Structure formats: structure tokens, C-alpha cells
Amino acid sequence: MTETTNDTDRTNWAIDYDDIEPIRLRDPAAEALAVLEPGDPIVITYEDVVKAAGHSCPTAAGAYRMARDGLEALYPDSLPVRSEIEVLAGGPRNDPAYGVTSRLLSYVTGAAGEDGFAGLAGGHGGRKDLLRFGAIGTDGVTFEFTRTDTDETVRVTYDTTAIPEAGPGTRHLQSLIDGEATAEERAAFAKDWHGRVERILRGDGFVTVNGPATRPGDD
């Protein structure tokens, strides 16, 4: 059976994200179930994160940068491995920033709470209980990623005070919500809104990574 694809099957993005560096990870369960060849990566783009979030915004962009920069530091010489990454959120689940960000980091890393995938026979590739919420005690939105195979941890912080100011075009948001925006207002909004997101995705000074270091109490 041959599948055909036409323009109605594609998402037509208002901004071009094609050259944003993707995130590559291994997934042991996918390899075991012959979804992927052993060692081949799952590739997650910012467009994928936008689909998971339902929109593109400074929070989604920050979550993507945190995931990409943190995992690169935690796995400098190899691909990150889903089911071997613990994620600690430095704030409560019901916090607007931590709640949304943790869902997107869970999407990328696979780390999940008590409702997560328990793994194949013997727990192979399991992600359950790898996402936790607690207090880290730093400014900004902070998460810790830990490798369960080495106990190495990186601390990743998104400086929300560095988020660029919204441009004047964003004043048209209510008109877009109400379906009353003109083509010119919609274009002005898109330029300022997506330009703000793009600066976060491409710029410096938004995300800092400390580590890796071994978790306290581990030898």
C-alpha cells in the first residue's frame, strides 16, 4: 500500500525552525521492539516540542534549550539514553512555569512520574518514577538531570528575567483570539511573537548549565 502526502497533511509553520539544532537520544525500549536499529537515535526537533505544547512561546523555547543544553553537558561523548535520565524539577507541579516545562522535558527525556511506562520484561527501558518535584533553591526556572548509570548530575537554569520584551505587535493578541485581527495585525503579531521566541532559541545568556558533578552522598 502506497501512502500519498499532500499539503493538507503538513503543518505550515509561521516561522522556519529547520536549522534549530535537534536533540538526539537513544531509546532502549524502541530498540528492543525493533522500532529503531540498536544505537540509532530518536530525533526531536523544536517543531516536535511545539506540537507537544500546542504552541510556541518563551516557556516552550526555554524548555527546549534546557533539554538540549543540559543533555549535551550530561552526555558529552555519547547519546543521552531515555530510561537512564532522572529529572528533578526545582518547583511544584502546579507552578505555571514548572508544570509546563516539566511536561516538555518529560516528552524529550522520557522521564515520567508514577504513571510512566514501567518498561518491558524486567523493567527494560522503563521511565516510571524518573520525574520528581522538589526545591532546589535557585533563582530562575531550575531542573537537575541525573544519569542513573553514572550518578552524574547537571543543574540547568532558565533565566526568565532575560526573556526579551514583547514587541508592539503582541498587543493584537486579543484580536487574534477573537478572530477579528486584520492580516496586517496578524503579521505584526507573528513577527514580534516569533521573533522573541527565536532570540531565546538562538541566543546566549538564557540558559546556564552547572556540572556534571556526582550527586551528594555518592562515591
Q: Is 142 exposed, middle or buried (0-12, 13-18, 19+ CB in 10 A)?
A: buried
Q: How many domains does the chain have?
A: 1
Q: What is the SS3 assignment for 55?
A: coil
The DSSP result for 62-111, as a single string, is HHHHHHHHHHHHH-SSS--BTTSEEEEESS-TTSHHHHHHHHHHHHHH--
Within a domain: residue 199? yes
Q: Is 100 part of any domain?
A: yes
What is the distance, to the nearest Å, from the Cα of residue 73 to the centroid of all Cα atoms in its chain?
15
- What pTM did the predictor assign? 0.90
Examine residue 212 and say whether the peptide bond preceding it is cis (omega within 30 degrees of 0). yes
16 domain-assigned = no
The answer to the question of residue 7 being in a domain is no
Specify if 104 maps to a domain: yes
The domain containing residue 99 runs over which residues?
22-214
Which residue in the block uniquely carries the three cell numbers 562515591? Answer: 219
What's the mean pLDDT in 92-115? 95
Tens of pLDDT along 161-196? 999 998 999 999 999 999 999 999 999 999 999 999
The Cα 98–Cα 174 span in angstroms is: 25
pLDDT at 49 over 70: yes
| Average pLDDT, integer, range 45-56 | 94
Band of residue 138 on the pLDDT scale cut at 50, 70, 90: confident
Do the domain assignments include residue 144?
Answer: yes
Q: How far apart (Å, rounded) are the C-alpha atoms in residues 128 and 126?
A: 6
Quick check: 13 pLDDT over 60?
yes
Does 14 score more than 90 pLDDT?
A: no
State percent of the chain over pLDDT 70.
Answer: 91
Question: How many whole angstroms separate alpha carbon 166 and alpha carbon 120?
Answer: 46
- Give the residues across from 154 on adjacent strands: 145
- Residues 161, 48: Cα–Cα separation, whole Å: 26
Confirm if 154 and 94 have CB atoms less than 8 A apart: no
Answer whether residue 10 is part of any domain: no
Strands (E), 126-179: 131-133, 141-147, 152-158
In a domain, 49, yes or no: yes
Host H or E run for residue 50: helix 46-53
Percentage above 90 pLDDT, the chain? 84
